Amino acid sequence: MSSNSEKPVPQAQLRVLQLKDGEHSNTTVYRLEKGWGLHFTLGPSLLGKKVHVFTNHPLSPDVAFDRGEYRELEWHLRSAARDDDTDVHVEIVCGMAGSFNFFFLYEGGGTILEPNGSGYFLVDPVLTVGAEKQPLPLDSIQCQTVLSKCMGKLSEWEARLQVAKESGYNMIHFTPVQGLGKSNSAYSIKDQLKLNPVYQSKGRKETLNDLGKIIQKMRNEWKILSICDIVLNHSANESPWLQAHPECAYNLVNAPHLRPAYLLDRALWHFTLEIIAGTWKAHGITQNDISREQLQRVGAVLNDCVIPKLKIEEFYILDVEKIVEEFRDKALDQGPNLSLFPPGLNLEIVQDPQYRRLQCGIDMELALKLFNREKNTVAQGEDRVVLCCAELRTQLMLLNRRAREVIDSHLKQAITCIIAGLEYFWLQDGGPKWKRVTKEDSISYQYFTHPGADTCLADDEALMDSKKAAFVMAHNGWVMNDDAMKNFAEPPSMVYLRRELIAWGDSVKLKYGQQPEDNPYLWKHMKEYVTETARIFHGVRLDNCHSTPIHVGEYVLDAARKIQPDLYVVAELFTCNEKTDNIFVNRFGISSLIREAMQAGDAHTLGATVHRYGGEPVGAFIQPPARPLTPCIAHAMLMDQTHDNPCPIKTRSVYDLLPNSALVSMSCCATGSTRGYDELVPYHVDVVKENRIFKSWSDASVDFACPSIGIKAGIIAGKKALNKLHQGLGAQGYNQVYVDQVDTNIISVTRHCYNTHKSVILVAHTAFQMPKKANETGHIPPLCVPGIVDEIILEARLVQKANGPVIEDKAFIAGLPDYVCEIRQHIQLKESDMVELSEEGERNLQVVDFSSFTPGSVIALKVSMNPSTTAAILQLRTALSQFGYRMRSYSGSRLTNKQGTDFRSIVQRMSLIDINRVLYRCDAEEKDDGKAFGAYEIPDKGPFVYCGLQGFISVLQDIRATNDLGHPLCENLRNGDWMPEYIAARLLVHPGTKELGKWFQQVFGFLQQIPRYLIPCYFDAIIYGAYTIILETIWSKMSEFVRTGSGFVKALALGSLQMCGQTKNAPLPALSPNLLAPKPPCCINAETGRKEQACATLAAGLPHFSHGIMRSWGRDTFIALPGLLLIPGRFQEARYIILAYAQCLRHGLIPNLLGGGTHARFNCRDAVWWWLQCIQEYCRIVPNGHTILKDLVSRLYPTDDSLAEEAGFCEQPLEDVIHEALQKHYQGQQFTERNAGHSIDENMRWEGFENCIGVDETTGFVFGGNVHNCGTWMDKMGSSEVSGNRGKPATPRDGSAVELVGLSKSALRWLIKMHEKGFYPYDTLNKVVDGKNKKFLFHSNCSMSYCIYAVSSGYVNI
């Protein structure tokens, strides 16, 4: 592993992936683009661990990719908090296309082979066309598949390929161009390194280089890229290199486990020959009887006659007597085994690796331990061994019986598969319906090549042990519902014996092994084949991808990307499992997965297919350039038809081909078709059996019988227009898609461009069945167009002009001549033959009626916003531009704020208390103001957590990440303007937020003028942009620790805003009118017109402890105050709260519940010590913080028994109040809480209202309380009469609570230091002892961990 530093660089697009301990995202697809940045950050489960992240993505594009070469990534810190690992990241700059792996481990955790987490990320290739290398986005690809073997001579290819060019395709997929085997199947390649000789003209010997010249011309002049299949799993039976290197295929030598399956295969072949010869007539089986009854007879004969005589089980069982004899000899020699029985070990059959009859064995040493034992009933020697042998024989026979049962189940499955296959071939609709049994149409697929004559089974079995066994090669094929991650040709698979393989009898399966050293020739040969393909073509299609060994695919594709760095890799997978598909996508770096529209059984499913594989939803949220990396589905190439599936004219109707193609063309992904589809070829162009050639292009009007076709053939004219539309939509950013099922047969697809807010709406009338009335429209609901129809891009329909018989062309692949595609392009709405403008709909809508829209019809409308909407959106974009969004006008010019209201300056002028109102405030806080506002509530969804912007942001952030436009919040926005109006209105009623409310009111006014489907998008952008600026402002108003802190620190600092706010019914007592500046904030009471103090208070908890008397708790306030106010730098708010509680001092305590001071409860002993601790922290943290000790405190209760006094009546410096609190504790206090009774605590016993405090001179500890009350934070009072705990504290804390002892020691030690510095005037306390006043001098003993009071000479040392 190498460790290189990757220099951080600014990225236009940045994705962030949070690493989680134990997460292996190997089945998750993450897509990126070249030039993007990728950051890995630490998730909560990895914080505090020393994590090492590795990747095989090279440091730069100049470094060659080596899949096994990893480098460690360097951690970078985003903030000044050097010890904060919440703010670190590693970075990768995506510099090359392909698939890349990452993994991480931490010290004391995983290993390189078993890391703590791992995954893959894909970087898309950058495709270019033309001599100027114009970019071709993946979503603009439209690819046509051509059967290369049907292209004729290479000299004729350009004329035939011109059909694709004139039809508007920009990519051609060629089936293999190499030499084919005897079957002429397009995928049975005989020689992977040579051009198919059928392409050669007389007297010429073209090579792959000549083909490469055509491919290059297509790219440079026609702007068409080319890809070609690579076939890695099999080669044609006739491949000459296999005869020289039989080890390259699975055969009976290198895969002896296939020997039993081969013998069964030969028996089935002989059975076929015997049926043809009439051998089984006596059993009712004849060559010409293709019936269900014959199927039953075939199954019976296979089960009763053919298969039993093979004795297949003998390859898997033991020769019992032979093994017993060996055991007997060893047992006599060794004597009885006296050791204990080996625990947990059982005797099992050891399979013979050569799979010979009756050659399986057992673990003889284990057998001797288990069965060679002493026997109490007989003497030692021969008699004992006889008994031991008998026991072993019984066990071996049991093992054989079990093995026979297993093999019997496999053979029964084989019969089931054979009969199921015959039922398909003989009887099923959609099957070939064979007429008789022949060598070509045999009883079952042949699974193996047979290098000899068809003599008898005995000769076949003898061949297995001859030199020819290496040439008995297993055919490749497909296994339905098989595990794609396992090789069905390797043990323990029984696929060949169970006859579960749908075999391709013209090709043999290649055996690679696990590494090149296992089969050097094969790996070298196939690597040369793939790299040569990559040299000529711009991409590859992985044939039979789901059966391709992953390590082989990685090896050859890595080599191909060295030749073609931006290799476009396409594949079609049949794993039936998206997660398994994703493994192949990740490991191979597949650019696009082939999907097929013809798989849809109805219009609804087809619409869902277009939706699933196409782009973002219309009205999608504006995503920031730096955002989380989210999983995605593999990029798709959606094809109207693939080349290896039935003809759509047969499976649907001829009228469906145009609308099917049109809907595919509207998908926001790569699209494709197959040659013959556009020409309306009425039969399947079979990859195996087809030998005719494609027609060439002619611009002249030609007869359908000619070997040329033109623009009027089939639906070519329509496809050309659709391809042009699809490519333009992809290139111009129409990446938002909406699919609407208008009715059973009609689908509408909208492609929308966010940049211009223009749309293209395509409506297609599908025809999955042949329409009974092809020329009638029927009832179609009108189309509501959100905007103005600028033009009709195209309207097209398939029309039958004649009804003549279909004459099959013997030489050329020809389409139906009687159907014509009528098409009109770029016309005005009033010129349409299909639709007409019904009336002007409601605002921003036009209603279009379908006047003549028959099955097979397609229409595409270009739609733009009306002028008022356009102006409103420009205003919105101008407002958003000040948030950092890269907003542009429709002309492309950069927008700047021209409204005269700079959002940032508005927020900067606000106090943090005002911003608390903007961002937060729970429902109870909001209602406490009496302004008729509460939390916003969505019907059937419930209220938001906060009334301010955070309430909306908390929901929007999840919606935005997934573009969940179906969320109730988005529905609420589309249905009305209540939410924006609420946001502005609640801010307008408060002076501190009124200016911001006006800004929102103005911007939301523009929001109301745009189409409803766009409102969630712009609403989110406004709220998110405003929220971002507000957060920046908050942090700018806080301490340097927060300003320069990590994201985690800044997030914690927001707690200061959440918990600290000003509420009407939970005020602080009025502070001293003589308090030195800065004085507390004030506001004008709108009801009385009087100036009132407007200090913030800390909520003890949201939402239940947020308002009224339950908001301000002394204990909770001063536990939280250092973190919520002092560390964030909110010194004045902290100062006012400290002084306000000081004003309420009574009995040497500060209130438990503040109650505005006049309704305070003094029923806790710890609040005063937390208060003193806060004053200490204030003096330490705040510059010149000690001056707070001189601040005047207006005593609300000058004496313990006095009524509440007005501010200014009795004033003391804070240091005197502190002194009084200490003095009261030393003197000791006993009092009954005022208003004692159930009115203030319904569960408290009367004794609980009795309070006391003091100092225990024997220990020096403060003490207080009794067993009936709760004086500390453990204040749960029992309330159940049933359980008998009413009035009983759950945790009594009477006496000296440990935290109070510590807090008192801290306070006194601090006061000593303050006194020594001259900041605190007191160093003594007075106490009356036995009626006499005594002075107590205190000083610090720093070696003590707690306070000790020693009475000596009238002084107390502390």
- Residue ranges of E strands in 649-785: 670-674, 696-697, 708-709, 736-741, 746-753, 758-765, 783-785
What is the spatial distance between Cα 14 and Cα 31, in angstroms, rounded to a whole number?
12
Closest of 824, 771, 758, 751 to residue 793, by C-alpha = 824
Closest CA to 498 of 408, 409, 410: 410
Centroid of chain to Cα 1116: 42
C-alpha to C-alpha distance for 1310 and 1172, rounded to whole angstroms: 10
Which residues sit opposite 106 in a β-bridge?
51
Chain-centre distance of CA 1253, in angstroms? Answer: 60
The residues annotated as belonging to the active site are 543, 546, 644
Residue in 843, 554, 536, 586 with CA at minimum distance from that of residue 28: 586
Residue 911, helix vs strand vs coil: coil
Q: Which stretches does DSSP call E strand in 66-112?
A: 71-72, 76-77, 88-93, 98-106
CB 910 within 8 A of CB 992: yes
Q: Which two tokens stand for residue 351?
A: 């399979």
| Helix-helix angle 364-371:382-426, to 10 degrees | 130
Q: Which residues contact 385 (CB under 8 A, 6 or more apart)?
A: 328, 331, 332, 372
Residues 6+ apart with CB under 8 A from 279: none
How is residue 985 annotated by DSSP?
Answer: H
Rounded distance between C-alpha atoms, residue 3 and residue 766, angstroms: 58
Q: Coil, strand, or helix at residue 581?
A: helix
Distance CA 893, CA 886 (A): 10
Token pair in block for residue 1273: 């934070």
As a whole number of angstroms, the distance between CA 143 and CA 1060 comes to 62
Take residue 559 and report the two structure tokens written for it.
């080599």
Beta-ladder partners of 671: 142, 638
Please list the helix, strand and coil fractions of the chain in percent, rounded to the nearest 5, in that order: 35, 20, 45
CA-wise closest residue to 1070 among 1033, 1035, 1042, 1095: 1095
Tell me 1014's DSSP state: G
Locate 907 and state its tokens.
């927020």
Contacts of 590 (CB under 8 A, 6+ apart): 542, 545, 569, 570, 571, 584, 634
Cα–Cα distance for residue pair 105/22, rounded to 1 Å: 10
CB 1066 within 8 A of CB 1202: no
Nearest to 374 by CA among 348, 339, 399, 408: 339
Cα–Cα separations (whole angstroms), residue 615 to 12, 127, 568, 595, 611: 21, 19, 20, 15, 8
Residues with Cβ within 8 Å of residue 674, at least 6 apart in sequence: 144, 145, 146, 639, 641, 642, 643, 685
Tell me the three state secondary structure of residue 1298: helix
Give the C-alpha separation, 224 to 147, whole Å: 17
